């Protein structure tokens, strides 16, 4: 007899102010659809979302849940309003959040098609996104928490991934040591909801900001970096 899908465990319902009734129903629908079989443990709290590990058919997955009541709606809308893929969102808070989740799914799919290391997006519904688990026994650490052994090699891999993303028509737009995992000494980019197409009028500004953030971070560790040369490499290298 097949297992009856489980609703979120009681111990998680108040964790991180995320499990309102609507979200519980959304999670239950994803469980019923076979994408995972109940939440396992919390991983992190982000600016707009909470991340959990969960048990899936092929092993662990990650479940990213955007908080409906405490999301920064205005910040989300500022990123979405100039994205030509989306329109008619002004003043529609819940629709903005659902679009934000769909946007992250689509951006991850496009990044993977460009051979950028990112978690595989597995499913989304409403304010919940299901992702490939990045890690082994434990989730992979963020770059800010675990420096790579070979700084230059790791930095060069980040720049190459940024170039692949750029030539696929996207800019991450929030890239930092908080949004890069160090998985087996290779960078994995995460958090793609704010990722912006190149025809967005803010794309160049976002790209410059990403490059400056990374050069500053690696510069503090003693690696000699040059933001202008890095930017040129991202734009001009062929993939």
DSSP assignment of 126-171 equals TTEEEEE--BSSSBPPBTTTS--SSHHHHHHHHHHHHHHHHHTTEE
Identify the DSSP state of 26: H
Same domain, 14 and 120: yes
Same domain, 171 and 124: no
Q: Average pLDDT over the chain, rounded to whole?
A: 88
Confidence class for position 186, pLDDT limits 50, 70, 90: very high
Instruction: Answer whether residue 90 shows pLDDT above 90.
Output: no
Instruction: Tell me what the mean pLDDT of segment 155-180 comes to.
Output: 97
Cβ partners under 8 Å of residue 137, min gap 6? none
Same domain, 102 and 48: yes
pLDDT at 12: 52
Same domain, 57 and 164: no
Q: Is 138 inside any structural domain? A: no
pLDDT at 25: 94
Share of the chain above pLDDT 70, in %: 89
* CATH number of the CATH domain containing 188: 1.10.510.10
| Residue that finishes a domain, picked among 132, 162, 188 | 132
User: What domain count does the chain have?
Assistant: 2
Confidence class for position 185, pLDDT limits 50, 70, 90: very high
Q: Is 220 inside any structural domain? A: yes
Sign of CA dihedral 158, 163, 164, 169: positive
Q: Is 113 inside any structural domain? A: yes
Confidence class for position 153, pLDDT limits 50, 70, 90: very high
Confidence class for position 5, pLDDT limits 50, 70, 90: very low
Confidence class for position 17, pLDDT limits 50, 70, 90: low
Same domain, 25 and 102: yes
Same domain, 162 and 84: no
| Residue that finishes a domain, picked among 70, 105, 132 | 132
Q: Is 3 inside any structural domain? A: no
Q: Is 23 inside any structural domain? A: yes
Q: Is 210 inside any structural domain? A: yes
* CATH number of the CATH domain containing 84: 3.30.200.20
Cβ partners under 8 Å of residue 191, min gap 6? 46, 104, 174, 179
pTM of the shown model: 0.88
Q: Is 146 inside any structural domain? A: no
The set of catalytic residues is 174, 191
Confidence class for position 239, pLDDT limits 50, 70, 90: low
Same domain, 35 and 119: yes
Q: Is 5 inside any structural domain? A: no
Instruction: Please give the residue range of the domain that contains residue 127.
Output: 10-132
Q: What is the pLDDT of residues 93-117, one digit of tens each?
A: 788 888 899 999 999 999 999 999 9
Same domain, 23 and 107: yes
Instruction: Tell me what the mean pLDDT of segment 49-61 comes to.
Output: 90
pLDDT at 2: 43
């Amino acid at each position: 007899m097949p297992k009856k899908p489980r609703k979120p465990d009681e111990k998680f319902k108040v964790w991180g102010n995320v499990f309102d009734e609507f979200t519980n129903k959304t999670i239950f629908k994803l469980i019923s659809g076979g994408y995972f079989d109940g939440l396992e443990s919390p991983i992190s709290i982000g600016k707009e979302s909470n991340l959990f590990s969960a048990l899936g058919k092929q092993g662990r997955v990650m479940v990213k849940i955007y908080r409906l009541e405490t999301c920064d709606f205005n910040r989300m809308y500022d990123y979405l309003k100039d994205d030509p893929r989306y329109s008619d969102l002004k003043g529609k808070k819940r629709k903005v959040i659902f679009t934000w989740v769909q946007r992250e799914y689509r951006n991850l799919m496009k990044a993977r098609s460009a051979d950028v290391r990112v978690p595989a997006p597995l499913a989304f519904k409403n304010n919940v996104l299901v992702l490939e688990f990045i890690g082994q026994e434990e989730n992979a650490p963020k770059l800010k928490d675990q420096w790579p052994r070979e700084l230059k090699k790791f930095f060069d891999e980040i720049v190459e991934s940024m170039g692949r993303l750029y030539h696929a028509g996207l800019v991450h737009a929030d890239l930092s040591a908080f949004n890069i995992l160090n998985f087996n000494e290779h960078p994995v980019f995460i958090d793609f909801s704010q990722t912006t197409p190149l025809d967005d009028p803010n794309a160049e500004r976002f790209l410059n900001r990403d490059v400056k953030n990374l050069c500053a971070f690696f510069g503090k560790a003693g690696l000699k970096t040059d933001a202008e040369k890095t930017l040129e490499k991202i734009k001009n290298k062929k993939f």
